[in-house]
Structure 1
Amino acid sequence: MVMIHPGLRPYIEPYRVLGCMRMWQPHDDSCRCTSTLGRHRMNVLAVDVGGTKTLLGIVTPAGDIVSQSEHPTRIGIDDIERVSALTVEELASATEPVGAVCVGFPEYVSAEGLLTSREVLTWAEQPARVIHRAIAARGLEQLPVRIDSDVRLGALGEATFGVGVDRSSFIYVSLGTGLSSAFVVSGAPWRGSRGEAIALGEWPGPEGTTLERYASGTAITQRYEHLTGVARTARDIVTASATDPVARGILETAGSALGRACADIVSLIDPAVVIIGGGLGSAPTLLSEAAHRAYISATARRDDSPPWVVAGNGARSGLLGAAAAALPLCC
């Protein structure tokens, strides 16, 4: 008997493969398994396209990353063809059979697996179509391909392989180059009617701007350059904060704004826990410390407020979530 991880159960049912070019069900006769154990016991290819970097990894059903590669994400030009090429290269070089692919993008994604925004990336054609075409051009066997929002996959990664396991509900906040969130109930991210229940970054922020333009990694670099005239990366600003009062002030005000916003989310939807993730959010910095303090202060009127927990998978939550979303597609 195949043991199904609790976080995957909401996905184990016949459904249309999101972003795939055909109708497909987990045990459809048209699926040609290349393993005697069936594809549900095969590895999957997970791809996490972020605002700064793209991660690709071969992941086992247990959530172990067999291999991983990292590439810069190209902003301002259509990067879908390159992501597709990287995906095919990973498939071609895999040492064991791969049963399915899932790719997360930092955009709004519909229930059908279609990108519906160009907030971060430039694209002209839907990724699933490009990936299938690239697979065919390389002469490889077609596989189920799923497309979803990177933050929903990050949330699923924590629900399946991280600190969200067995939680009745949680809000997952991803702070990195950008800022977004996803609400998870019974192990499944809630996508909303349009697939847009991820836009924490669009909430009003201090100084008449949005929360993303005030507290994200991109915002931190822009605010620092505006105040000092010096261009530094978010990583450099975090490092400099020990001795640089400008860097320290930016990180602390960004964290305070994020913590208060998370307290507002708790007042609205009452999750069992708040999970803070993403490369910047899960790192021990002045920003994350300030966010935690602000959250505790804003929720102090209740003794049983949801705990604030750092993502167990850190910056790899999205990659593992993509794997979790791909696994049920393996017949």
Structure 2
Amino acid sequence: MDQRSGNSVGRRLFHRLMGWETGWWNDLKEGGRMSDMFSKKSLAVGVDIGGTHIKLGLINEQGEVIDHYSVNLLRDETKIADIALISQEVANFIEKRNVRNQLAGVGVACPGILDTTLGVVKFAVNLGWNELPLVEMMQERLKLPVRLECDATAGAIGEWRYGAGMDQSGFLYVCLGTGVGASLVVDHHIYHGDLGPAINIGHTSVIPDGKPCKCGNRGCLEKYVSASAITDRVRMELDTANTILSKWVQSRALDSLLVYEAAQQGDLYSKEVFQEAGELLGVSLVNCLQLFGVGNIIIGGGFSQSGDLLLEATRKTVRARFPSDDVMKVNIKQASFPTTAGMLGAAANIFQ
């Protein structure tokens, strides 16, 4: 073998090891196994797309977060979440850390109704997306494998593999953020229905003929129990409510964190807002307990960090409404990773 042939073989071997010889992109378009491609690299990027923020993390298979940051959700001039700008943000995250050659792929957690097999967001009310081919668009921009998962399911996977659900064969994971999502683990498997894996309790009615929701329903849980719901309620009632918030909003922006801080200061109105939200969450959880029979419930998402201010009323409502013979089997606890489980689960999906 002459030197030129040797160099050629060497290059092909190196390219094959790096996944470059035919390219993962062509393999993917030709129906190649994604798991084969993912297994060659040691890191993944987890992307959690929320209603107001995007979380990005560089994560290894053991769930260790090497680096991460959060950025405001990028929307276009029509207020629709801009997938091109989101993809560019992910590309910048990768290039600034110079880890492209170590990446198995990019896992994306997204709210809404998804076709994870085709990589399409069918409908995401808080993002303004309909029939969006997210995986195709992000792969075209990133030139890396991308895997899509429902945000609540990604959160459940994150807690299941690394957090509060590690030792459990089954549990209900509820994510409280801008909206409300849920996912169910049964006998060590994520529950998948005909419409996908998510348990969309955020869009189940807790108040008949209640507030209209963008999904087309009325009285949806997430219109009363979410960070955005708390903010919206206080904003509507602020002129007539007896609360310290009337003074605070003169110098600070009104959001759920401000309401939480007021409640922690003993503001009775703010405490009542959280209590009533907790009660409605309890009503919804009792419905889930009756439907699914899973007694372990993990509450995650940024809004869950309000802790007992919200969950004390939730537990009290469950005890009052669920049959006494079974209520002692119910365990409602906070997530180990309230704000990053979706990001962790999205990355973990790459290594499965």
The reply to whether TM is greater than 0.5 is yes
Q: d(CA) in 1 for partners of 2:87 and 2:231?
A: 30
Contact 2:155 2:342 in 1 (8 A): yes
Query: Secondary structure of 1:156's match?
Result: helix
Contact 2:150 2:197 in 1 (8 A): no
Partner residue, 2:282: 259
Q: Identify unmatched segments of 5+ residues in structure 2.
A: 1-27, 211-218, 240-245
- The equivalences for 1:126-165 within 5 A come to 126-135=133-142, 142-165=143-166
Q: d(CA) in 2 for partners of 1:73 and 1:155?
A: 22
What's the TM-score once normalised by structure 1's chain length? 0.82
Between 266-275 and 87-96, the greater mean CA deviation after superposition: 87-96
- How far residue 272 of structure 1 moved from its aligned partner, in angstroms, is 4.1
Which of the pair has the greater relative contact order for Cα pairs under 8 Å at 6+ separation?
1
Partner residue, 1:69: 69
- Post-superposition Cα deviations, 1:235-274, rounded to whole Å, max 9, x if no partner, equal 1011111332222111100001101211221111111411
Query: Secondary structure of 2:121's match?
Result: coil
Letter in 1 for 2:89: L
Q: d(CA) in 2 for partners of 1:92 and 1:221?
A: 37
Q: d(CA) in 2 for partners of 1:312 and 1:321?
A: 13
* 2:342 counterpart of 1:318: yes
Question: CA RMSD of the aligned region, Å?
Answer: 2.3
Q: d(CA) in 1 for partners of 2:347 and 2:276?
A: 35
* 2:178 counterpart of 1:171: no
Task: List 4+ stretches of structure 1 deviating above 3 A.
Answer: none
Query: Secondary structure of 2:148's match?
Result: strand
Partner residue, 1:270: 293
Letter in 2 for 1:104: A
Q: d(CA) in 2 for partners of 1:57 and 1:22?
A: 29
Letter in 2 for 1:194: L
Contact 1:263 1:295 in 2 (8 A): yes
Contact 1:179 1:200 in 2 (8 A): yes
Computing the radius of gyration from Cα coordinates, the structure with the larger value is 2
Structure 1 pair 197–45 and aligned structure 2 pair: CA distance change class (3 A): closer
- How far residue 302 of structure 1 moved from its aligned partner, in angstroms, is 2.2
- The equivalences for 1:231-270 within 5 A come to 232-241=254-263, 242-270=265-293
* 2:187 counterpart of 1:186: yes
- Which of residues 214, 236, 251 is equivalent to 1:226? 236
Q: d(CA) in 2 for partners of 1:72 and 1:23?
A: 35
Contact 1:279 1:315 in 2 (8 A): yes
Contact 1:183 1:190 in 2 (8 A): yes
Q: Identify unmatched segments of 5+ residues in structure 1.
A: 1-19, 136-141
* 2:107 counterpart of 1:102: yes
* 2:325 counterpart of 1:302: yes
Letter in 1 for 2:288: I
- Post-superposition Cα deviations, 1:46-68, rounded to whole Å, max 9, x if no partner, equal 00011121100000111000000
- How far residue 315 of structure 1 moved from its aligned partner, in angstroms, is 1.0
Contact 1:108 1:196 in 2 (8 A): no
